[in-house]
Amino acid sequence: MPSQHTEAHLQKARLLLDQGRYKDAERELGQILSHEPNNNDALGLLARLKIDDHQPAKALPLLAQALALNPQEDYYLYLRSFAHYKLNDNISAIADLKAALAMNPYHSGYFSLYAFVLIDEHQYEAALEKANEGLALDAEDIGCLNARSRALSKLRRTTDAAATMQDSLAVDPDNDWTHTNVAWNFLERGQHRQAAHHFQEALRINPRNTAAISGMKEALKSRIAPYRWFLRYGIWLSGQGKNVRWMMALGLYLCFRMGMAVVDTLPRPFNWLVYALMALYLLAVLCSWLINPIANAFLSLHPQGRYALTITERWSSQTALVALLAGILAAAFTMLVAPPAFQSQGLVASLVLASLALPLALVQYPVGRQYTTKQWVTLGLCVLGVVAIVALLFSAEVGMLLAGIYGAAIVVGSWVAALGRG
């Protein structure tokens, strides 16, 4: 293929990529690579396309090939670090960024990505330093301005963060990434109305902005006060280290167990105070498990929100609420109608039915399509719960055993899922 044709295909692919027409751009690049499989420009552009199209894992082999052909190209290292960042491999991302900056220490965009990786690692002071280094090279670099405002917000320097956000909007008022970043800053401070406004602006500019879509759903669900409180708590908790999260969860659980052990030995009114604290703990735990599917059910009734929900979010919220309400009704029926000999089995079956809301809220739809091990385990918990309910209707001994195994699996799974985030 003549070089002029190659350049024409490259220019067309860049234009299509900027327009978000990924399939068409990939077709143009395929024309080049079918004749020139070692064309560096085409490989690099195809890797960028995969990253932009939310397929960072597919970008890595392309970048490995491009770097093997031209190991001194710092931009390929930057792209690879971006792919690692998207795959939550921050160690590899930082290694590639260091190598890229060693080759080219004057690219402000590299400092921007470095800052965001450090924010992801909860190293906010270091992130602020990297953002400032990038701004020293280019005072109007949007990425560095956004990273700086995020780092300042995490450091609770709200006045400086707000000033930097205004600088970002002044530089490029039609940048969807900037509006998304501003919106998340508002959302983290509990200002969901302002957040919703900026998420709407981001989506007006770029309807494919997945971070803005996700944020818009959070802003709409934050109209429910309990959800707003749990969201702010979750954002705060995600900013803590994993060890801190484990210590807090274990500390609260141990306090709960100690309360159970001593409550009957305490005089009034202290025993009632302990009972109240234990009830609050259990209520908080249940709400933390169920608040998201309940909020998604509310969102499905919202004129804007119902279009933002995915098929998984719609079905998981509906099945979880059905299980919860069915369990409550079954418990009421058991206590009012069931014979005394069956009441213990019936109440345990009702409890299992209501608790099925927990794994059902995590099931991915369509069922079985590209499931991970974790998703198969979640589906297995649902099946185990149903089997335990059926067994309880026919055999108290077998049913109680299965219900105990199911309950232990639910508790352990919920802890691991909650504390493994971030």
Per residue in 241-272, pLDDT (tens digit) is 666 666 766 777 777 677 777 777 777 777 77
340-345's contacts with Cβ under 8 Å and 24+ in sequence apart are 344/396, 345/392, 345/393, 345/396, 345/399, 345/400
Confidence at residue 131, expressed as pLDDT on a 0 to 100 scale: 94
Confidence at residue 166, expressed as pLDDT on a 0 to 100 scale: 85
More confident residue, 407 or 419: 407
Characterise 36 by phi-psi region: left (phi > 0), alpha (psi -120 to 50), beta (else).
beta
Task: Please give the average per-residue pLDDT across 131-149, as a whole number.
Answer: 91
Least confident piece of the model among 71-85, 160-174, 274-288, 400-414: 274-288
Share of the chain above pLDDT 70, in %: 91
Q: Does position 2 have pLDDT exceeding 80, yes or no? A: no
Least confident piece of the model among 37-46, 176-185, 333-342, 365-374: 365-374
CA angle 45, 48, 53 (to 5 degrees): 125
Model confidence over 346-368: pLDDT tens digits? 888 888 898 888 888 888 888 77
User: What does residue 155 show for φ and ψ, rounded to 5 degrees?
Assistant: -85, 5
Is the full-model pTM beyond 0.75?
no
Q: Which domains does the chain have, with CATH numbers?
A: 3-168 (1.25.40.10), 315-422 (no CATH)
Task: Please give the average per-residue pLDDT across 180-203, as a whole number.
Answer: 87
Q: What is the mean pLDDT of the chain?
A: 84
- pLDDT bracket for residue 417 (50, 70, 90): low
Confidence at residue 241, expressed as pLDDT on a 0 to 100 scale: 62
Q: Classify residue 184 by its DSSP letter.
A: H
What are the strands, taking DSSP E only, across 145-271? none
Of 159, 62, 81, the residue nearest 120 (C-alpha): 81
Task: Please give the average per-residue pLDDT across 7-13, as a whole number.
Answer: 86
Confidence at residue 80, expressed as pLDDT on a 0 to 100 scale: 95
- pLDDT bracket for residue 422 (50, 70, 90): very low
SS3 239: coil
Sign of CA dihedral 85, 87, 91, 97: negative
Q: Please, are residues 251 and 322 in contact by the beta-carbon 8 Å criterion?
A: no
Task: Give the chain's radius of gyration (CA, Å).
Answer: 26
Least confident piece of the model among 43-52, 86-95, 201-210, 247-256: 247-256
Confidence at residue 369, expressed as pLDDT on a 0 to 100 scale: 66
Q: Does position 293 have pLDDT exceeding 50, yes or no? A: yes
Confidence at residue 238, expressed as pLDDT on a 0 to 100 scale: 66
| N- to C-terminal Cα separation, the chain | 48
Least confident piece of the model among 1-5, 38-42, 309-313: 1-5
Q: Please, are residues 418 and 252 in contact by the beta-carbon 8 Å criterion?
A: no
Least confident piece of the model among 13-27, 145-159, 236-250, 321-335: 236-250
Least confident piece of the model among 236-240, 300-304, 384-388: 236-240
Confidence at residue 421, expressed as pLDDT on a 0 to 100 scale: 47
- Residue 161, both tokens: 């963060």
Cα–Cα distance measured from residue 143 to residue 130, given in angstroms and rounded to the nearest whole number: 11
More confident residue, 416 or 163: 163
Q: Does position 307 have pLDDT exceeding 80, yes or no? A: no
- pLDDT bracket for residue 118 (50, 70, 90): very high
18-22's contacts with Cβ under 8 Å and 24+ in sequence apart are 20/52, 20/206, 20/208, 22/49, 22/52, 22/53
